[in-house]
Chains A and B, each alone.
Chain A
Amino acid sequence: MTPIDRPPPAGADGDVALAAGGDTAAFERLYRTHLPRIYSLARRMAGPEAADELVQDIFVRAWQKLGTFRGDASLATWLHRLAVNVIVERFRTLGTRRDRFLPDGEAVLERLPSSRPDARVDLQMDLHAAIERLPPGARAVFVLHDVEGYRHHEIGGLLGVSTGTSKSQLHRARMTLRALLGRGDA
């Protein structure tokens, strides 16, 4: 099971219908239910600087498109896919579609401080910070594959790169993260 298959909360169907009809209160309930999931996705893929604005764009798009949601998948899955599309559009808008997928992780390693500022920092926090230090392309592939559960051919389709590029970027991301975290057990 991938993380996007989480079951919808009780009462969500009613709120979907109400929100699709223009009920902003119902839409706010949906927003607050799914916000942590969507915000985390946006932040991991695009970084903290862009996450707030992306989240707004994603939920505005969801409001506009909610009428097309027919319940074939869970709302969480539908919203997640929509969010990925909005984020990828942003990558394209910023000209990061192909050229930003080429840089490798070694450049990031060179910019890192020589020692960790606080060895007692929680490992999960370390992984969050390390993901944000990855180059955009490697970061997007790692988040989509290892965090969100997408397959390489899906990632290739979303990001406009070959399956081979997706695989190589994933491996670079993993190796870079291993080095960033300072030890092999993450």
Chain B
Amino acid sequence: MDPWTDRLSEYIDNELTPADRAACEAHLAGCAGCRDTVTAIVALTAHAQRLPDRGPGVDLWPAVLARLTPVAPAATPMAARRWSLSLGELALAATLLMAVSAGLGWLAAQRPGGGGQEDAVIAVSEPSTVSDDVQLASFADEDYDAAVTDLELVLLEQRDELDPQTVRVIERNLQTIDEAIRQARQALDDDPANPYLHSYLVDSRRRKLDLLRRATLLTTVSQGD
């Protein structure tokens, strides 16, 4: 067997000693087969360096996103001071939004000319919220209003500390909850004894307080780091 056949890649990659390189070149001068091999490998490697990059056939981002966990603050030296809700918290916010939205749908259905989706909405909202032992909503709960105001101010002041996507999620949820509270109060004007409305209003106010606390907790954590 040709002693140089298995060393032609080393010759091409310039990894032979000067003496071996000279010997290899002397061999190549008289061996057409090895010259062909060298020519072929040089062309192959040049070709390999020009291979185009291609992406996958399917979108892998959703699968990647589902596996991303919140970033640990200590491991982010280049990070801007922005904080976001974890995926679990975002899921909780989405659940909260669904619950409040279902209640809004029920409220809409009670008004004359209400929408046509009331059957489905009631099926979601009524069984879990109507109770015989209903807590009457207080419209003059000064402690509650003060707490909400304080938390809203904190959130406003620290808004830039939060990730924009998180801010959008929080604001969208707050808008939905505020709308639920407004409609519940409006409906109670017409039907003050309705237990569902009282329960729904109390629940919506509690949800708003919880959401504000979660959001301000995020900014508090960022300041403490």
Binding site for B on A (CB under 8 A): 3, 16-18, 20-25, 27-28, 31-32, 35-37, 39-40, 43-44, 51-52, 55-56, 59-60, 63-71, 123-124, 127-128, 142, 146-147, 149, 152, 167-168, 170-171, 174-175, 177-178, 181, 184-186
Contact = CB atoms under 8 A, between A and B. Distances in A.
Interface in B21-70: 36-37, 39-41, 43-45, 47-56, 58, 60-61, 63-65, 67-70
Interface string B154-179: 00000000011100000000000000
Contacts of A147: 48-49, 51
A32 B61 contact: yes
Given A67-B77, A167-B15, 10 more contacts: A18-B82, A20-B79, A66-B76, A67-B75, A69-B78, A146-B48, A149-B49, A171-B6, A174-B45, A175-B41
A178 B68 contact: no
A23 B165 contact: yes
A169 B218 CA distance: 53
A178 B45 CA distance: 10
Nearest to B45: A146
Contacts, number: 157
Contacts of B8: 171
A39 B64 CA distance: 13
Given A18-B82, A127-B47, A128-B51, A55 B60 contact: yes
Contact of A23 (B41, B43, B74, B163): B163
Contacts of A65: 75
Given A23-B84, A178-B41, A63 B71 contact: yes
A36 B55 contact: yes
B90 to A, nearest CB: 10
Given A22-B70, A60-B64, A170-B9, A124 B51 contact: yes
B64 A59 contact: yes
Contacts of A44: 51
Nearest to A68: B75
Contact of B40 (A23, A167, A185): A185
A177 B45 CA distance: 10
A40 B51 contact: yes
Given A17-B80, A22-B71, A39 B58 contact: no
Given A56-B63, A56-B64, A70-B78, A22 B83 contact: yes
Interface in B134-150: none
Contacts of B54: 36, 39-40, 43
Contacts of B84: 22-24
Given A63-B68, A146-B48, A21 B163 contact: yes
